[in-house]
Structures are given as C-alpha cells and as structure tokens.
Amino acid sequence: MDLDRMKKWLDFAKEFQHGQFWDSVFDKDYTEKAMEQFTQSSAPKPLNNSRFPLADIFKSNHEFIIVLDLPGTRKEDIEISIADYSLNVRGVVNPRYSGMGKVQTERFSGEFERTITFPELVGGTNISAKFDNGIIEIRIPRSHRSKEKIIIE
C-alpha cells in the first residue's frame, strides 16, 4: 500500500473514532465518495468514465480484428487513429430526443473516447474499418518480423 493510500485510510479511520462514521455510513453518496479513495486507478479513463464503446478483440496469425458497438452514431461522428501499441476511437453519440423531458435513460449519449492497447506493435498499411448498422469492424494486419541476426562490431 503506498503512502497516499495509507494516509487516506488513517483519515478515514479517524472519522470512525470520533463517531462521525456511523452518522454517515448509511448515506449512499458519502459511502461511495469514501470508497472511491481506495479504488481509484491512475490509468486514464474514457471521457464518459466507462468502457464505451464495448469492444471484442480477436487475433489470428495475420491480423487483429476489433469489433466496436456504437449504437446511435453516424460514421461521420467517429474518429479512429492508431499509434505504436494502441488504437484510439473517439466521437459523439447524439441523444435521440434531445428536446423532450427524460423519464428514464439507460443509453449513453455524449462524447466518448476509448483506447485499446495491443500486446505488440501495430500499424502500417492495409488497415481497414467498416461501419455497418452501428457496428465498426477494424482490421489491423499484424507485423511479423523475421529473426534478424545482429552483427557485433
């Protein structure tokens, strides 16, 4: 456990000693906020703080295939880029009925960004992306390098 987390834990424990803990333990907002201190990761998060869009990643001897679910998007609202070991997908999902009051909403709308990291260097030529009915299929050839002999000078 690092020092910052240890300090947060000690501060949390002090609240317990002074009786404030039990006064607020059943307050959902307080409990969630307190627990976030110990579960937060230093890894970058997508703009919407979730795993959107959902992705399936497949690999063969020749290529990676990435399938992303992007319901409610247009291909004009999506940007895909690739560099070194990662694929970045960003865009916007516009709300379907933006002028109406919401009773219940479970579908995501707004800006998103998702970075997918590969176990090996990716990129090069012949990368393709196909958009069909809210699903993007991206094909990235795997770069196989033959074993190279290194000459010692």
Residue 11 pLDDT > 80, yes or no?
Answer: no
Q: How confident is the model at residue 131 (pLDDT cuts 50, 70, 90)?
A: very high
The residue to which tokens 């919401």 are assigned: 102
CB burial of residue 27 (10 Å; 0-12, 13-18, 19+): exposed
Share of the chain above pLDDT 90, in %: 27
- What is the per-residue pLDDT for 4? 78
pLDDT value of position 38: 54
The CA–CA distances, whole Å, from 95 to 2, 62, 106, 113 equal 42, 38, 11, 17
pTM for this entry = 0.60
| Confidence (pLDDT) at 34 | 61
CATH classification for the domain delimited by 55-97+107-141, as one of 3.40.50.720, 2.60.120.10, 3.65.10.10, 2.60.40.790: 2.60.40.790
Please choose, from the candidates 127, 63, 61, 60, the residue with its C-alpha nearest in 3D space to the C-alpha of residue 89. Answer: 127
For 17-45, the pLDDT digits (tens) are: 655 555 555 555 666 666 665 554 433 34
Which segments of the chain belong to CATH 2.60.40.790?
Answer: 55-97+107-141
